């Protein structure tokens, strides 16, 4: 239930910020850019029919189908996270919220609305949105979790006493 609430909350926040971007970043002359922190952070209205960094341009239908497949995978996989490491508890909600936010755009609009524009001068990161941020942060935590979990398992295996005559020489389950 928490996973669903977190995912829906992040998806709703994403949609709300995109509605604000559409409302304030498009005028009679078309899309515009608004500085937030000078040139470093701007809000710039951009539409994206592909994935991150322009991968799969015009791939709206395929990317929507992938998102639909990812959603049950998130619900399934979340059972296997080691929740003793508190950041791992955030992963499913971040991934679900990011997936839902951009899926809603693809289904409703046929493209994703991006508006967060970071960079210096002409050196800019591709525009992104709240859903993208949630998905990326969730993915980074997931990779760190996998690394931490594997490292912890390796340390446990290294500190385990070796099998030998004391246990009758029987092989141990690994």
The three-state DSSP-derived secondary structure of the chain is CHHHHHHHHHHHHHHHHHHHHHHHHEECCEECEEEEECCCEEEEEEEECCCHHHCCCCCHHHHHHHHHHHHHHHHHHHHHCCCCCHHHHCHHHHHHHHHHHHHHHHHHHCCEEEEEEEEECCEECCCECHHHHHHHHHHHHHHHHHHHHHHHHHHHHHHCCCCCHHHCCCCCCC
Stated pTM of the model? 0.83
pLDDT value at residue 158? 65
pLDDT value at residue 32? 92
* Mean pLDDT, range 32-49, rounded to an integer: 96
pLDDT value at residue 163? 62
pLDDT band at 131 (very low <50, low <70, confident <90, very high): very high
pLDDT band at 111 (very low <50, low <70, confident <90, very high): very high
Kindly list the catalytic residues: 114, 132
């Amino acid at each position: 239930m928490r996973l669903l609430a977190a995912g829906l909350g992040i998806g709703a926040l994403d949609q709300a910020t995109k509605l604000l971007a559409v409302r304030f970043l498009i005028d009679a002359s078309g899309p515009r850019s608004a500085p937030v922190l000078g040139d470093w952070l701007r809000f710039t209205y951009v539409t994206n029919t592909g994935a991150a960094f322009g991968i799969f341009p015009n791939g709206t239908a395929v990317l929507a189908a992938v998102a639909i497949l990812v959603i049950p995978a998130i619900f399934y996989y979340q059972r296997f996270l080691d929740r003793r490491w508190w950041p791992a508890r955030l992963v499913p909600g971040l991934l679900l919220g990011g997936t839902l936010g951009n899926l809603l755009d693809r289904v409703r609009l046929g493209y994703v609305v991006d508006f967060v524009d970071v960079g210096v001068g002409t050196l800019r990161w591709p525009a992104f949105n709240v859903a993208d941020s949630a998905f990326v942060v969730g993915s980074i935590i997931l990779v760190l979790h996998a690394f931490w979990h594997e490292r912890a398992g390796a340390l446990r295996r290294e500190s385990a006493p070796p099998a030998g005559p004391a246990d009758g020489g029987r092989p141990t389950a690994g």
